[in-house]
């Protein structure tokens, strides 16, 4: 199957996904389960990575600012900008593409090869709507919160790194954070997070839902899903940056 | 009753079903047998609506499936129970949640009534204490029984089973066979079973359809299958020496 056929099949899949849930109480249960699986269980890894990435950005910026005429508050400013613009929305999404994407593909793929999806269809349930729609809603509403948390933790990580290494003063760093604050950048990061969340929920679902074969194929599909989700995130990141900031 | 007329199904150039006619009666256990690749699974999935046949008619108690609108099809699906080869229980749900799933999806019963219904069917399949367990904690035979419980919880008119005995020891296989036959008779269900298990053929085959190369090659009951002189059926059913001897002794007894 060529790429264009995959793209067409992906959009046809979305057509089945975006239908009214057959039973709201069942949808609600599924939604809470997905919020836990896709969102809450990713909190730890996102927080951990954001905290240390923030610290590394601050240390590297400090070590590269050799000129005495460049003010030290630029360390806080650079850390804030890097975290808000790129590291929190894009870096966190790439991490989630790996962690959550492989989970989605393997869980749906296993359901496919063990005939659980056929069981849903035989019962008269729209399996795509039942399986994928709650994942999209959970991701689109929860990931922006994760990204905002990553921003705060990254900036905090940078501040703590300065405190521990003595490379810059706390006051300079806080001045830098407060300098030239543009609320639109938060909107930009949130828009990116929502778009990437949609990609993270749907591309791995596509790979899992249409898998054929056995456990080996499910494994291969998971790898494919992570690769394609990451590629699409990187491409969309470029286009969104161009559209929103260019 | 399910009636099938001139059913054809192809995948690309491969013509799998080449015009099958069959009738499955209410309250009876009908078995579909045949070699691997004979079209059994495609036939069963066509009956279930998982495959769309190119030609032919499938009618459920007189209602032709391809003439049904979306609501009628949805209604029909709720009247169908299915036991899959690998049980197809939802891994993330407990036994109780698995069985309750179709009830929750299609009825507005209070939780206590739904639980009562689940416990009744669990008792019926002799698993009264398994409701809080997950499928992974159950043996193959127990999983099959849970799958049967899930299939009958909506009081279906039609029950389909794909290889219900695969992977089970002979003793458990007989328990499952008997359970399906009892349920079929008790609830007056139209039951269609896809099987390779010759013990099932001998035990519960009230009606047996033998498929060969996408066509119905023979039809009869488990008593008639002993006497048939259809070479394909004899070669398939009595392929083991044990079954050859069983058949020979049956024929000798009948002749004497």
pLDDT tens, B44-62?
Answer: 999 998 888 999 999 999 8
* pLDDT band, very low/low/confident/very high, at B200 (cuts 50, 70, 90): confident
Residue of B nearest to A122 (CA): B77
Contact residues, chain A, for B92 at CB < 8 Å: 33
Interface probe, candidates B65, B88, B148, B167, chain A, greatest A C-beta count within 10 A: B88
Whole-angstrom Cα distance, residue A180 to residue A239? 25
pLDDT of residue B167: 79
Domains present along chain B, CATH in parentheses: 1-79+158-220 (3.40.50.300), 89-155 (no CATH)
What is the average pLDDT across A41-49?
Answer: 94
* pLDDT band, very low/low/confident/very high, at A96 (cuts 50, 70, 90): very high
Count of pairs with CB atoms under 8 A, one residue in A, one in B: 49
pTM over 0.90: no
Q: At what angle do helices A92-113 and A215-245 cross, to 10 degrees?
A: 150
Per-residue pLDDT reduced to its tens digit, B85-127: 888 999 989 999 999 999 999 888 899 999 999 999 898 888 8
Spatial CA neighbour of A100 closest among A196, A204, A195, A27? A204
Per the model's pLDDT, the better-predicted residue between B157 and A70 turns out to be B157
* Residues of A (29-48) whose Cβ lies below 8 Å from B: 33
Per-residue pLDDT reduced to its tens digit, A151-174: 999 999 999 999 999 899 999 999
What is the average pLDDT across B152-171?
Answer: 88
Whole-angstrom Cα distance, residue B23 to residue B48? 15
pLDDT of residue B150: 93
pLDDT of residue A68: 79
Whole-angstrom Cα distance, residue A53 to residue A225? 25
What is the average pLDDT across A125-148?
Answer: 95
Instruction: Please state, rounded to an integer, the average pLDDT across all residues of chain A.
Output: 93
Strands annotated E in B134-238: 158-162, 190-194, 207-212, 215-220
Residue B254, pLDDT above cutoff 80: no
Per-residue pLDDT reduced to its tens digit, B220-232: 988 888 888 888 8
Least confident of A171-185, A232-246, B197-211: B197-211
What is the average pLDDT across A186-198?
Answer: 95
pLDDT of residue A1: 65
| Residues composing chain B | 256
Put simply, the answer to whether A122 touches B77 (Cβ < 8 Å) is yes
Q: DSSP secondary structure string, chain B?
A: -EEEEEEEEEETTEEEEEEEEEEE-TT-EEEEEE-TTSSHHHHHHHHHTSS--SEEEEEETTEEGGG--HHHHHHHHHTEEEE-TT----TTS-HHHHHHHHHHHH----HHHHHHHHHHHHHHTT-TT-TTS-GGGS-HHHHHHHHHHHHHTT--SEEEEESTTTT--HHHHHHHHHHHHHHHHHHT-EEEEE---HHHHHHH-SEEEEEETTEEEEEE-TTHHHH---HHHHHHHT-SHHHHHHHHHHHHHHH-
Spatial CA neighbour of A180 closest among A246, A88, A81, A83? A81
Per-residue pLDDT reduced to its tens digit, B129-139: 888 999 999 99
The two tokens of residue A220 are 């291969």
Whole-angstrom CA distances from A68 to A62, A72, A161, B23, B179 are 12, 9, 21, 92, 86
């Amino acid at each position: 199957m060529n790429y264009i056929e995959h793209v067409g099949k992906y959009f046809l899949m979305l057509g089945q996904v975006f239908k009214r849930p057959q039973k709201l109480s069942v949808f609600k249960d599924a939604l809470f389960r997905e919020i836990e699986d896709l969102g809450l269980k990713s909190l730890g890894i996102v927080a951990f990575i954001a905290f240390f990435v923030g610290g590394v950005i601050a240390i590297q910026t400090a070590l590269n600012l050799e000129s005495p005429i460049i003010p030290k508050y630029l360390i806080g400013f650079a850390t804030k900008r890097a975290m808000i613009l790129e590291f929190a929305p894009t870096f966190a999404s790439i991490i989630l593409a790996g962690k959550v994407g492989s989970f989605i593909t393997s869980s749906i793929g296993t359901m496919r090869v063990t005939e659980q999806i056929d069981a849903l269809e035989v019962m008269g349930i729209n399996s795509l709507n039942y399986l994928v729609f709650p994942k999209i809603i959970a991701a689109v509403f929860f990931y922006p919160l994760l990204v905002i948390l990553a921003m705060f933790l990254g900036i905090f990580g940078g501040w703590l790194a300065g405190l521990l290494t003595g490379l810059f003063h706390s006051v300079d760093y806080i001045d830098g954070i407060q300098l030239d604050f543009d609320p639109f950048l938060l909107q930009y990061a949130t828009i990116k997070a929502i778009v990437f969340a949609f990609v993270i929920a749907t591309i791995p679902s596509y790979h899992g839902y249409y898998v054929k074969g056995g456990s080996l194929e499910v494994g291969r599909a998971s790898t494919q899903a992570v690769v394609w989700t990451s590629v699409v995130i990187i491409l969309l990141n470029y286009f969104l940056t161009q559209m929103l900031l260019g | 009753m399910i009636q099938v007329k001139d059913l054809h199904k192809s995948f690309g150039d491969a013509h799998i079903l080449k015009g099958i006619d069959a009738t499955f009666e209410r309250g009876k256990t009908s078995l579909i047998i045949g070699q691997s690749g004979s079209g059994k699974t495609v036939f069963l999935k066509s009956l279930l609506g998982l495959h769309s046949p190119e030609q032919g008619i499938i009618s459920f108690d007189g209602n032709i499936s391809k003439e049904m609108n979306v609501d009628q099809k949805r209604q029909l699906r709720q009247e169908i129970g299915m036991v899959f080869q690998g049980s197809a229980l939802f891994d993330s749900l407990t036994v109780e949640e698995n069985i309750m799933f179709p009830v929750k999806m299609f009825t507005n019963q209070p939780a206590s009534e739904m639980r009562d219904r689940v416990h009744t069917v669990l008792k019926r399949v002799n698993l009264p204490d398994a409701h809080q367990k997950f499928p992974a904690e159950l043996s193959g035979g127990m999983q099959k029984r849970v799958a049967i419980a899930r299939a009958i919880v909506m009081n279906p008119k039609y029950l389909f089973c794909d290889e219900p005995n695969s992977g089970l020891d002979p003793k458990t296989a007989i328990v499952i066979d008997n359970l399906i036959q009892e349920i079929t008779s008790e609830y007056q269900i139209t039951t269609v079973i896809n099987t390779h298990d010759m013990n099932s053929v001998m035990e519960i085959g009230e009606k047996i359809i033998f498929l060969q190369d996408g066509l119905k090659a023979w039809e009869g009951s488990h008593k008639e299958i002993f006497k048939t002189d259809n070479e394909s059926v004899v070669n398939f059913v009595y392929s083991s020496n044990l079954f050859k001897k069983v058949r020979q002794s049956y024929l000798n007894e009948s002749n004497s």
